[in-house]
Chains A and B, each alone.
Chain A
Amino acid sequence: MRMLKIEKKTYTSTKSILFGSLVALLMGFGIASLIFWAYGVNLLYAYQKILKGSFGSSFAVSETIRRAIPLLLCGVGLSLAFRASFWNIGAEGQILAGAIAATWVALFSGIPEPLLIPAMFFFGFLAGVVWGFIPTFLKSKWQVNEIITTLMLNFIAASIVLYLIHGPWRGEEKRGFAYTNTFPQVAWLKMIGTTRVPWLTLILGLVAATLVYILVWKTTWGYEIRVIGENPDAGRFAGMSHFKVVLLVMFISGGLAGIAGVGEIAGIHHLLRNPEHISLGYGFTAIIVAWLARSNPLAVILTSLFFGAMFSGGDTIKVSLGIPFQAIYAINGIILSLLIASIVFTDYKISIRR
């Protein structure tokens, strides 16, 4: 039988990665065009709207950045986790854990005002870490598959949020809606100008990307992360502790996702609400963000902006063309499929053999 033979190249140039990704993106938009066409929408008009809605005005740019911030924070963490071959697909749950902790601090902790925002970030980070450590321990101590546990913990976190907003934390002032009370204004994040971009989480995201880059490429820990990610057996042979490495990785990955949750809650919503409204699947989209960046934390800055633009463009076509927001998920899924296909052509050598 004739089949494809696929071998991993020893070296892939940045140029071929960029080229492969670009081709995948173009093909993705091409296929998305077919979908728009089948939906009966003028293609050029739709793309024009998406572009306008994501980069067309200073407001559009700020909306793109607003969407990109949680993707950046989660994406940087995930890039690190994927580097260590720890398949954290639980960023969504870690976001919610951070959001729960921030809500507790803002409404129930009694922490004095000047410390409120720092405390929200501290406890939000911690909650993300705790939520991320559950699968870490299960994996390292008892070989429980982290793909499943991180996935399941997303839904458990969402259940807890639903329980809190329907039950003990339900606000008196929100008649008929399952929300908590609105946070006091001192617990709101300051925005850049009149935009909806909290400067604090933006800076935290950029700093995190830089620090994680340094961690991975300039430190001994980073070296261990890379070795364990490539070949756990080799790492063990060299005396590295898989447990410690994964613990470090998930401390950062879970914590950053937790901070993303704090940012959404303290910056945008100012209350705890339905999980689907806190995160529009940021935790899942961040997987693509990290993947597209090839687990390079600095490249995550670019890729998170790209998907931030997709989200804010999706908002625009929803309003102006009546296309449901789900279109963006479909397009993202198609782009993701083509991207992982493109990796085969850029990072691998393909030949046909008999």
Chain B
Amino acid sequence: MNWQSWLIGIFRSMGYGTPLLIATLGEIYSERSGVLNLGVEGVIAFGAFVGFAITFQTSNPWLGLMSAGLAGGLISLIHAFLSITLRANQVISGLALTMIGTGLAGLFGRGWEGTPLPFLARRILLTQNNFIFFTLILALLLWFFLFKTRVGISIRATGENPAAADASGINVWRIRYWCVFVGGVLAGIAGGYVSIIYRPAWTEGTTGGMGWLVIALTIFSFWNPIWAILGAYFFSAIFHLSFRLQAWIAPELLKSSPYILTIITLFFIGILKLKIKKAPAALTQPYERGE
């Protein structure tokens, strides 16, 4: 095993890091506005299914990818309505969304089980390498938007102290709705990326577990799009390495390391009074305007 083969391996692992990063960027926006979306696992699965189905029917992968995003955004509105408007518990509402998304994908995908996308449907520009590039630009743009623009400040203010944000004229509900919607769009695109570009076929559970990695990665990257870039490729490298390092460590155990690392990260945030980002202060708290 020489260094080139390792390098190629790591580069390949970036293929899985791409959808992970896209969905994490969405979850970062949602959580920065104060809404934990545990439904992302279901949204990705749903997006993957819709993306595949539309691409299969129309032979247009662009349309498929856009439909995946739209489907992800729309299904996420369930969570937005329950947790923002009705102020239901975000944990329960998110888990319900996961059940709905994975359930619908599994149910309606059944007829396509094992079907590959025809080669023709893959068009120019839609390659994994290009997407690495697109996604990096997206991450930088979303970082800039979150930290350097007025709307970005409003989003962060909403997640940290919604009452103060409200008092300063920010529409807390609108910001949260948009962030959950955009988060859903990105998760849907991530799912579509998997079923259209990364593994152009439909198998049930093709995105299985990615949403939970996204939840972990959002914390691991301190709710920051730039750190998410590193985190996403680091996590996907771990998945790739789990096969290469078999001789030294069981792949099953290595694959759980993202979850262990997330707990350790949270532990260190808690135990050391580091000046690093903690979770948005109002995360999981519904907002109600006081009198």
Contact = CB atoms under 8 A, between A and B. Distances in A.
Say which size band chain A's interface belongs to: 35 or more
A138 interface: yes
A13 interface: no
A6 B85 CA distance: 9
A144 interface: yes
A159 B252 contact: yes
Interface stretch (B53-61, B102-110, B141-149): B102-110
Contacts of A156: 256, 259-260
Interface string A314-352: 000000000111111111111011001101100000000
B92 A341 contact: no
A337 B253 contact: no
Binding site secondary structure of chain B? helix
6 contacts: A138-B263, A148-B216, A152-B259, A284-B99, A324-B110, A329-B100
Contact of B250 (A38, A138, A167, A287): A167
A3 B173 contact: yes
Contact of A326 (B106, B269, B289): B106
Interface of B: 36, 38, 42, 78, 82, 85-89, 91-93, 95-108, 110, 171, 173, 204, 209, 212, 215-216, 219, 250, 252-253, 255-256, 259-260, 262-263, 266-267, 269-271, 279, 284, 288-289
Given A155-B209, A333-B100, A144 B92 contact: no
A142 interface: yes
Count chain A CB atoms within 10 A of each CB in B42, B85, B95, B173 and give the residue with the most: B95
Contact of A144 (B42, B93, B173, B270): B270
B92 A162 contact: no
A160 interface: yes
B259, B270, B288: residue with the most chain A Cβ atoms closer than 10 Å: B259
10 tightest Cβ-Cβ pairs between the two chains A and B: A330-B103, A326-B106, A333-B99, A142-B270, A159-B256, A329-B103, A333-B100, A163-B252, A336-B96, A152-B259
Contacts of A16: none
A148 B262 contact: yes
A327 B107 contact: yes
